Chains A and B, each alone.
Chain A
Amino acid sequence: MIATLSFLTRRLSQGALIVFLAALIVFTLLRIGPGDPARMLAGGLSDQASVDALSKQMGLDDPFIVQFGKYIGGIVTHGDFGHSYIRSENGQSVGGGHGDSAGASNRASVISLILGRLPLSLALAAAGLGLALVISAPIGIWAGLRAGKWPDSVTIMGSSILVSMPSFWIAGLLVLLVSIKLQWLPAVGYSGPKYLILPAIVLAIEMAPIFIRTWSSAISSMTRRDFIRVAPVRGLGSKAVFTRHVLRGAAVPFINTLGVMLTSLIGSLLVIEYVFDFPGLGKLTVEAVMQRDFPLVQAIAIVISTFFVLVNIAVDYVSGLFDPRLDY
């Protein structure tokens, strides 16, 4: 219990530092890049004086350190990630010289934008990941127990082919086949759970082969261990050996892979949501970058690196439960 507590405090404080530095790096990158947000918000036809005034009002004239300090201060003291440069509360674009006042009042708060898109992304992630896990476990374990024989070879071949299909390409193929030719499922956008199916399948195709590989190599390497080989001598039935020793031992590599996949999930979601025009966090991210909506990009970067850090801590903790020899 004490060990767990000290592990958590140590890793969480390290994690907070890492997220802080990641925020600093992204903040810096956005500031040193080209493009003036004040000019963009005021609109291309505004005169220099109004651009300058807006820039002053937004605090863009402050020294870098002051800007960053205010930003982090706002987050820490009252969870304020700032307001979008582009989007208004009612979902319409503001700024860009439409003549409306670009005050903070009618611009959407970044946090509400993110929270609005998050549920759809989570649903897609859960559906895709769930599908991948359900498919991969039986196949991987089945192949792992028959290492070196034909099931193993077929599985290697199959998962190599699947893992070699880029998601943006396979998405196009599926849309062509299922939506255009057969007209079974809707292809793009979102208006109902039906729209989850194709993106979730693409996500599962991307992830399942990696889980299959992890299961099969972990299981086959466990069956080679001496303590598994001699287990029948101790009078254990093959079922008991499998559930108590082989599966338990293979769980650690599986959890590690799950952690890696959870972190790479973000990149996959981004591409898949973009391809399917699926209104989740990934599509929001691409749009925010394209529109140079700095506050939104920063906040998304912070949210995602926090997620990264938490997943890594969870993976190390859970691995320790399965294999007490691992020192966390």
Chain B
Amino acid sequence: MSSVTTNPAAAKPAQPSTRELAMGRRIWLATRSSPWFLMGAVLFALLLIMAVVSVFVFQVDPTKMNFVDKFSPPMGAEGAKSQFPLGTDQLGRDMLSRTLVGLQITFLIGLTATALSFIIGSAVGLYAGFVGGKIDQILMRIVDIQMSIPPIILAITILGLARATPALVISVLVLATWPNYARLTRSGALAERSQEYVRAARVLGASNIRIILLMVAPIALPPMAFAAVFDLARMMIFECVLDFLGIGLQPPTPTLGVIIADGRKYLMNAWWIAVLPGVFLMLLLLSLNMMGTALERARNAVFEGAK
């Protein structure tokens, strides 16, 4: 039976000094040295830079049609044209600039939606867990109800009725995800509520909000970073799925989901239209999943070691 610990960082003898560091800092120290995290972070940074730089560098209009060059294959394939490294689609639009614009949209919607549901969810969770009593019960029942409506049903009900805009898609994603954070942070806040330092702060006259923001949040939130990273990946997939099903953002907006849905019709003779944007999406999700795995493992190692 192996008794070796999972994480390379945790395998080192615990230095007495790290014991005194805050939980969040210890998790970060253990994460930083993980090769998975480094690989994921580099990949993520690369894709992010590509998406951001392409805003300024590429002057090719992703919706500009060019019928002479339609179905031009990507680099490496026979008959490729050098001005279209990823080829062109059925209307002769440049696939590289389309993919990069799709990447920008995915980043924008994913990051905004994750940040919003993190903020809303943890605000509700922290408050409910810290205050307790009736307020806690009411808030948590709302969370239960929200969680019992399957996200996909919620999404297609709302988006099936109204015309999708980026703001609406973000709201749907936030609506489907915030309860998770509320649940996670609530248990963290619950554990801190009766700690001595909280009582001491109360005796000194600190308000609830002050204690929550300055004392409880810095302890209860960092362990949830891994959930946020995984969620970012989930939100990005979800956004692409909605576009793919045709109820999210609509063509001609070149989101990754729209491009892949479009390209499916031409799988037989122009495989690259559907396949290559998917590769970018996969790399993006892969980078997030690697970082998330590293964070989760570090968190588990720190929590189990702290017992």
Where chain A touches its partner, the secondary structure class is helix
Q: Which of A21, A33, A169, A220 sits near B274, CB closer than 8 Å?
A: A169
Q: Judging by beta carbons under 8 Å apart, are B148 and A22 in contact?
A: yes
User: Complex formed: what's the CA distance from A90 to B150 in Å?
Assistant: 30
Residues of chain A contacted by B6 (CB below 8 angstroms): 147-148, 152, 217, 220-221
Q: Judging by beta carbons under 8 Å apart, are B149 and A22 in contact?
A: yes
Residues of chain B contacted by A172 (CB below 8 angstroms): 260, 263-264, 267, 274-275, 278
What size tier do the contact residues of chain B reach? 35 or more
Is B153 at the interface (CB under 8 A from chain A)? yes
* A-binding segment of B197-205, B210-218, B233-241: B233-241
Q: Judging by beta carbons under 8 Å apart, are B1 and A271 in contact?
A: no
Is B49 at the interface (CB under 8 A from chain A)? no
Scan residues 31-82 of chain A and give those whose CB is less than 8 A from a CB of chain B: 33-35
Is B156 at the interface (CB under 8 A from chain A)? yes
Residues of chain A contacted by B1 (CB below 8 angstroms): 145, 223, 228, 232, 238, 241-242
Q: Which of B153, B241, B283, B304 sits near A271, CB closer than 8 Å?
A: B241
* A-binding segment of B13-21, B107-115, B289-297: B289-297
Is B61 at the interface (CB under 8 A from chain A)? no
Q: Judging by beta carbons under 8 Å apart, are A147 and B5 in contact?
A: yes
Q: Which of B145, B240, B281, B283 sits near A21, CB closer than 8 Å?
A: B145
Shortest distance from the beta carbon of A184 to any chain B beta carbon, whole Å: 16
Is A229 at the interface (CB under 8 A from chain B)? yes
Q: Judging by beta carbons under 8 Å apart, are A266 and B4 in contact?
A: no
Where chain B touches its partner, the secondary structure class is helix
Scan residues 197-244 of chain A and give those whose CB is less than 8 A from a CB of chain B: 213, 217, 220-221, 223-224, 228-229, 232, 238, 241-242
Q: Judging by beta carbons under 8 Å apart, are A166 and B241 in contact?
A: yes
User: Complex formed: what's the CA distance from A263 to B153 in Å?
Assistant: 12
User: Complex formed: what's the CA distance from A325 to B268 in Å?
Assistant: 57
Shortest distance from the beta carbon of A223 to any chain B beta carbon, whole Å: 6
Shortest distance from the beta carbon of A102 to any chain B beta carbon, whole Å: 21
Is A149 at the interface (CB under 8 A from chain B)? yes
* 28 interchain pairs, CB-CB under 8 A: A22-B149, A29-B158, A29-B161, A30-B161, A33-B161, A147-B4, A147-B5, A148-B6, A148-B8, A161-B286, A164-B282, A164-B283, A164-B286, A166-B282, A168-B257, A173-B278, A180-B267, A221-B304, A223-B1, A232-B1, A238-B1, A267-B151, A267-B152, A267-B241, A289-B156, A289-B157, A290-B160, A290-B246
10 pairs of A and B residues whose beta carbons are closest in the complex: A33-B161, A164-B285, A169-B278, A289-B160, A267-B152, A164-B286, A147-B6, A160-B289, A18-B148, A148-B4
